[in-house]
A and B are shown apart, each in its own frame.
Chain A
Amino acid sequence: MGMWSCEGFCFRFVVCGLGVCLVVLGGCQKPLELRLPDPERLHYVVEGYIEPGVPPVVVLMRSMGFRDTLSMQTYYELFVHGAVVRVSDGSQTVTLREIRTDTLPGWLLSGLQQFVTLPLDSVPPLYFYTTVDMVGVPGRTYSLEVVIPGDTVVLRSWTRIPGAPRPLDSLWVVPVNDSMVELWARFADPPETPQYYRYMVKRNWEPFCDPLGNVIEDRYFNGRTITFDINPGICNIYGYDFEEELPPTKFFRGDTVVIRWCRIDGAQYRFWLTLGFAISSLSNPFAGPVRVESNIEGGLGIWGSTHCVVQGIRIPE
């Protein structure tokens, strides 16, 4: 039985709608200068995870105003340094320390990346807070507290690590043309519900990436077997040409694909679901604005728990 996810479909519909608009209305499109009001205040943004057997990792950044430009210089200025980041499992509280990814050896980053949801091997590098004094244990609840230096804002959140996901039953390819293929997966959902899933894709030497619409809820297929296609998404944002490229949806023959197939908590599912819609709605006149759901009290972003298995396939030439 096939599975249909609204997220994937809606993304396609956006592409379809834009395609029609470009054909029909292309000649009547022009840039528009709008003087948007400045935000009353900028927000702190958290992206943090705790996973079984892996230390907690937290990236802490500021948001940017609509008129701000993101460049290599301003990118580093977005990180918040010197914050007091604490994670507690109820019996043990640890304070995380800040590390810049490119100060770690490359072999270590590559190895860690198999087990960590955060894109540690990304280019450009990022600053993150972590510790060696704590690793995640499935079933435990972990609270996060972030105190910002020089600010009264305190960010708080909590998450509970889910059990291990059942692995994907199988992966196979469907040829599209001489060079491209679609990658499909089959998955038998266990009878327990609710279960939320997320997958990340690594192609060849690229870092793991998150295709839009890569979160799934088992509400509508609980206990049944589903099939779905896997998109590569945009993995290497550095050097990506926003004006020319659309997110890829297919793989090349000869690619080696690694998939992290994960169970996630409900808050993380809602975060990634609304985030996908929020981004795609910007360029879709048929969609309304979507506010991304966050579980960070006092800020934006996500403090989530993930329990993953890693699977792979080599696509034949």
Chain B
Amino acid sequence: MGRIGLDMGLGERTGGRSGVEVVFWVVGRVVLGLIVGCWGLLGQGGSGVGRYLLRGVVVDSFSREALPFAQVEVVEAKKVFQAGPYGNFSVWLRGGVYTVRVRAVGYVERAVRVEVNRDVVVQIGLVPVQRRLRAVEVRSRRRSSEEVSMSKIRVPIRTLREIPVAFGEQDPIRALRMLPGVQSAGDATPGLVVRGGTPDQVLILLDEAVVYNPGHLFGLFSVFNPDALHSVTLFRGGIPARYGNRLSAVLDVRMREGNLRKYRVRGGLGLISSRLAVEGPLVRDRASFMVAGRRTYFDLLFGKYLKTFTYNFYDLNMKMNFRLGESMRFYLSGYFGRDQFYFKEPEGSFQVWMPWGNQTVTARMTRMMKGGGFLLTTLTYNEFRSSMEVEERSLQVVIASYIRDLSARVDYQFAQRGSHLVRSGVSLTHHTFSPLAFALQTDEKPSHPRKKYVLDGAVYVEDEWQVGRRLGIEWGLRYTFFAHLGPYVHYLYGGDGRPYDSVEYGWGRVIRVYHGGEPRLSVRYRLDSFQSVKGSVMYIQQYLQLVSNSALTTPFDLWIPSSLLVKPARMLEFALSYVRDGFRLPYSVSLGLYYRYLWNLLEFKDNYVPDVNHDPEYSLVRGTGESYGLEASVEYDGDWLTLLVGYTLSWNWRYFPELNGGRRFPSRYDRRHDLSVLVLWKLGWRWRFGLTFVYGTGNTATLPTEFYLIRFMLVPHYTARNNFRLPPYHRMDLSVTYRFRIAKKYMQELILTLYNVYNRQNIFFIWLSTRGDWQTGIYQKFYQVTLFPFLPTLTWNFRF
């Protein structure tokens, strides 16, 4: 496949005296050009003679929590559109009586009659499927052929709960790996690998705040406590313009808002951790709260027996929701998680203490405007911090890293008018990166000599456009800018690898600016009521990249922002798919192709050795990548049976002039075949059975092909990158859930999970050992470590 020389207008500008002005000039021009222009075209009230505004919110009937992204159909007006992230919708209609039909995944479909002879506000409550009152009600199903977006997947939390997982610890990220085009990089990788990307190319949002490290226990479990979650939406391609700064996918996770009417408690006892969540009204129908906590108790139970090491993690989710009148809401949410690991050499003085964790805080105000628009104002703060304190007798060392973001964004959703549903917004984020700060005494505060300050911003407009019954278009344009700000010292290195000079930039000085447009387009053409063909084109940029030189993902992998030396990664994606929904049966079949070309990817040099005294961006090399493949899925979503089969055939290549002799090599996540099967079967109300099977071609690995002898040490020599493929990964899991009540109120669940039922020894990592002696011969031997053998676990969940 030839290389593509395409530049979508990405600009670069080095800083000068007027650097700050440059940033504001870029923002100002783009904001004025797009937002104001867009508002001028579409935001003129929309009213005309005999036209009225129907505004509404889709909520859960019981908790009164808003339901995001519900599908709203105004039958007589032949309008179908999607509600916003807070269940909001608004549409201009001529006077009359209309049937408004609302569907949301996991809820019973509902139709209401609304008389529109003036501006009307409605609240439409949907009943969860599990609490269905009458057998005749129709369950809402996602009709894939209707949606324009070809790669959006919204997974109900209830479904995620029923998927068998290791140790019975329910984990949304692990469950999402069952979907076609979504892979895991192994048993202990916290993130997702989507369409050949890397885990850092997936934007993970928790209530709009970025989660940089979504894993507990070195990635064995995700940071998301299922009891605290309201919705999980994954965009594995065709990413809407409101999202950006990641190439591969977006995982948008939202916390529960808290029940506005009743106090609810839910929790569980698992093998690894226990959890408890409480929610309820602060003021009935006006304000609510939700608090959910989780903690491991491995250290509490076995701490005194394990003298050499201890480990624990905990996390806390909190959210408050205030209704300020009919049209305004205020949300305040936060996540605080921490892992702690301690190790002491059994007969020595060496000890290490490693804490790491995420913190996020989100404040959000939503307001339904009189003109039908919906205004969302969001402030977020998020931080990921990791440190390592090493002590050996008189020597004490602290290494600490953190990323801290402060972000503000405003989104505006216009009322549905004609065949358009337009959203627009601006965002601005200030990042502080402090990689590998270093101190020699544990009571000394680590100095941060290589702190980097970054300002990035974006303005976007996107439109869901129903051109006719058959053709639907979602287009968007996102314009982003990124500025690397001082203070910063740029070192100039000589041929001996040592700096011979440096350039110092003062506080606030703009060192480098990158900016550019990111067009997105998704098109759906309906062949008939049940079949459609979809296509999408997406160009996107990523200003932060995670670089790792390790076979495993660790909390100490470094996020590298674009800078004077590091250019932003860019990607162009084309995708095409055919979707067919069942006529009577609730099934869906899809077949898709995708192609991605990526620029400015980062890797460490071949001879890179970690050095806390050296800025790692000087040890990076830049290259391109290419991935393409075929995705197929069959989905059956019946009342008692859910079946999902996904298969991906893919290729994933990298080209780095300075690596592998300039020859292309497969990516670490190159996986030729990836198959997943999920079966969920309900037997009455009490019994549920789950089965999953996954198969994936083994990951690639860089292994030595030669050894040589230096001072009687066997030294490895590597001739190629990712030159070997490990054995395939496959596994089958089963789960049985028994539900019962104690009294009417106390709902109980016992979940028996049989993880890896046929005890497949999948590879967690491999390592090489020198064995033998001079008499019989010294040789190298590979060993594999398997993380999860066959694991039966029992989990008890309760809810009241």
Asked if B564 lies at the interface with its beta carbon under 8 angstroms from chain A, I say: no
Contact of B395 among A2, A16, A62 (CB under 8 A): A2
Q: Is the CB of B551 within 8 A of A71?
A: no
Given A16-B343, A70-B778, A289-B716, the answer on whether A28 and B785 have CB atoms closer than 8 Å is: yes
Contact with A along B696-725 (1 / 0, CB 8 A): 000000111111111111111111000110
Which of chain A's residues have a CB closer than 8 A to the CB of B789? 27-28
Stretch at the interface among A18-26, A85-93, A137-145: A18-26
Contact of A70 among B552, B705, B714, B763 (CB under 8 A): B714
Which of chain A's residues have a CB closer than 8 A to the CB of B498? 194, 219
- Distance to closest chain A CB from B216 (angstroms): 15
Q: Is the CB of A43 within 8 A of B708?
A: yes
Which of chain B's residues have a CB closer than 8 A to the CB of A210? 711
Closest chain B residue, CB of each to CB of A267: B496
The number of chain B residues touching the other chain, given as a range, is 35 or more
Asked if A55 lies at the interface with its beta carbon under 8 angstroms from chain B, I say: no
Closest chain A residue, CB of each to CB of B550: A286
Cα A33 to Cα B782 in complex, Å, equals 7
Q: Is the CB of B787 within 8 A of A25?
A: yes
Among residues 24 to 43 in chain A, which have CB atoms less than 8 Å away from a CB atom of chain B?
Answer: 25, 27-34, 36-40, 42-43
Among residues 500 to 518 in chain B, which have CB atoms less than 8 Å away from a CB atom of chain A?
Answer: none
Asked if A170 lies at the interface with its beta carbon under 8 angstroms from chain B, I say: no
Given A63-B706, A279-B715, the answer on whether A34 and B772 have CB atoms closer than 8 Å is: no
Cα A28 to Cα B711 in complex, Å, equals 34
Cα A289 to Cα B548 in complex, Å, equals 11
Which of chain A's residues have a CB closer than 8 A to the CB of B593? none
Contact of B308 among A2, A19, A69, A277 (CB under 8 A): A19
- Distance to closest chain B CB from A188 (angstroms): 18
Given A2-B440, A12-B350, A63-B717, the answer on whether A300 and B708 have CB atoms closer than 8 Å is: yes
Asked if B608 lies at the interface with its beta carbon under 8 angstroms from chain A, I say: yes
Asked if B6 lies at the interface with its beta carbon under 8 angstroms from chain A, I say: no
Interface of B is mostly: loop
Contact of A284 among B604, B761, B767 (CB under 8 A): B767
Asked if A107 lies at the interface with its beta carbon under 8 angstroms from chain B, I say: no
Contact of A63 among B308, B552, B608, B707 (CB under 8 A): B707
- Distance to closest chain A CB from B787 (angstroms): 7
Contact of B763 among A32, A43, A291 (CB under 8 A): A32
Which of chain A's residues have a CB closer than 8 A to the CB of B61? none
Contact with A along B600-639 (1 / 0, CB 8 A): 0000101111111100000000000000000000000000
Q: Is the CB of A182 within 8 A of B393?
A: yes
Most buried by A among B308, B496, B552, B706: B706
How many residue pairs bridge A and B at CB < 8 Å?
238
Contact with B along A1-21 (1 / 0, CB 8 A): 110101001101101100111
Asked if B640 lies at the interface with its beta carbon under 8 angstroms from chain A, I say: no
Closest chain A residue, CB of each to CB of B778: A70
Which of chain B's residues have a CB closer than 8 A to the CB of A289? 702-704, 716, 718
- Distance to closest chain B CB from A48 (angstroms): 11
Contact with A along B290-310 (1 / 0, CB 8 A): 000000000000000010110
- Distance to closest chain A CB from B306 (angstroms): 8
Contact with A along B739-777 (1 / 0, CB 8 A): 000000000000000000000010111111111111111
Which of chain A's residues have a CB closer than 8 A to the CB of B613? 6, 219-220
Which of chain A's residues have a CB closer than 8 A to the CB of B678? none
Q: Is the CB of B550 within 8 A of A70?
A: no
Asked if B121 lies at the interface with its beta carbon under 8 angstroms from chain A, I say: no
Q: Is the CB of B705 within 8 A of A39?
A: yes
Q: Is the CB of A292 within 8 A of B607?
A: yes
Stretch at the interface among A148-156, A238-246, A252-260, A306-314: A238-246
Asked if A174 lies at the interface with its beta carbon under 8 angstroms from chain B, I say: yes
Cα A4 to Cα B438 in complex, Å, equals 10
Closest chain B residue, CB of each to CB of A2: B395
Cα A219 to Cα B781 in complex, Å, equals 38
Can you list 18 A-B contacts with CB-CB less than 8 angstroms, sorted by A residue number? A23-B308, A25-B787, A30-B786, A34-B703, A34-B724, A38-B705, A39-B719, A43-B717, A62-B708, A63-B707, A63-B717, A69-B777, A210-B711, A238-B712, A242-B772, A288-B702, A292-B715, A300-B717
Q: Which 6 A-B pairs have the closest CB atoms?
A: A288-B549, A69-B777, A237-B712, A285-B765, A63-B708, A291-B606
A-to-B contact residues, CB < 8 Å: 1-2, 4, 6, 9-10, 12-13, 15-16, 19-21, 23, 25, 27-34, 36-40, 42-43, 45, 47, 61-66, 68-72, 74-75, 78, 119, 122, 124, 174, 176, 182, 194, 209-210, 219-220, 234, 237-243, 249, 266, 270, 273-275, 277-279, 282-293, 300-302
In addition to A27-B789, A64-B706, A282-B767, 6 A-B residue pairs with Cβ atoms within 8 Å of each other are A66-B704, A237-B713, A266-B496, A270-B497, A274-B607, A285-B551
